[in-house]
């Protein structure tokens, strides 16, 4: 495995889920462990990059040699990521909640009726915002977790969110994906694609960084 230096590059990585609070004791979240994003941040730091890891609520130790900023909600993650620009590369590996409660109840919501309706509102799309920002990083990479028509949706995201690469989780590969130490990705860019893995997320992280370096040399 090659390990070309990333010395002098500033890389911002977002990782993990976001938690959208409903009341002081409940939230809407998702099953992201943060392992893929943490592996990317760790690999980039090991290769000499100046790395900022914006992490949602995960139970993972902070990798050596990087700055970690902990956040909880999509809104907080957006603030933290935008505050880190400019950067050379942004890798959005976080599983950002798409909707958040319109209001956070100040006290615990008590059970009462048979049904409870929660009003939800869209969260900010951090990846799409970074991709059109005045301080846009040179390379903007997103992730996609799809269960079907993976290429169709991944290529759609490239266009719609104006990003340079989409790393799509290959579903149907046993032992890969959520909460696993292994994963399989197909990485798409405007005029190409490459399948990586199945492999440990630490190895995939280095392969993804190699791919970024190959396409956007210093």
Q: Look up 30 and say whether it is catalytic.
A: yes
Interface residues toward ligand C5P, by CB under 6 A: 74, 92, 94, 96, 98, 123-127, 142-144, 157
CB of 111 to ligand C5P, least distance (A): 30
CB of 200 to ligand C5P, least distance (A): 21
To ligand C5P, the closest distance from the beta carbon of 156 in angstroms equals: 9
Pairing of strands 192-200, 139-145: unpaired
Q: What are phi and psi of 140, to 5 degrees?
A: -120, 120
Of residues 37 and 63, the one with the C-beta less far from ligand C5P: 37
Distances, alpha carbon 18 to alpha carbons 33, 105, 129, 192, in Å: 11, 18, 17, 31
List 4, 26, 29, 30, catalytic entry: 30
Strand order in the sheet with 139-145: 67-70, 50-55, 10-15, 89-92, 139-145, 165-169, 182-189, 192-200
Minimum distance, C-beta of residue 209 to ligand C5P, in the bound complex (Å): 16
Active site residues: 30
């Amino acid at each position: 495995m090659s390990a070309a230096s990333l010395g002098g590059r500033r890389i911002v990585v977002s990782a993990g889920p976001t938690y959208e609070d409903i009341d002081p004791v409940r939230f809407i979240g998702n099953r992201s462990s943060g392992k893929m994003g943490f592996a990317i941040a760790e690999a980039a730091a090991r290769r000499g990059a100046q790395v900022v890891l914006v992490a949602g609520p995960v139970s993972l130790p902070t990798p050596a040699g990087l700055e970690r900023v902990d956040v909880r909600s999509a809104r907080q993650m957006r603030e933290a990521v935008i505050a880190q620009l400019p950067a050379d590369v942004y890798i959005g590996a976080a599983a950002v909640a798409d909707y958040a409660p319109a209001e956070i109840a100040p006290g615990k919501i008590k059970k009462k009726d048979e049904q409870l309706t929660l009003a939800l509102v869209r969260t900010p799309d951090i990846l799409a915002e970074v991709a059109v920002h005045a301080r846009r990083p040179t390379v903007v990479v997103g992730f996609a977790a799809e269960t079907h028509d993976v290429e169709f949706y991944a290529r759609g995201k490239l266009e719609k969110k104006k990003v340079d690469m989409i790393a799509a989780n290959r579903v149907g590969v046993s032992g890969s994906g959520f909460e696993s130490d292994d994963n399989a990705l197909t990485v798409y860019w405007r005029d190409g694609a490459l399948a990586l893995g199945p492999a440990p997320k630490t190895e995939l992280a280095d392969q993804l960084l190699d791919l970024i370096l190959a396409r956007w040399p210093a």
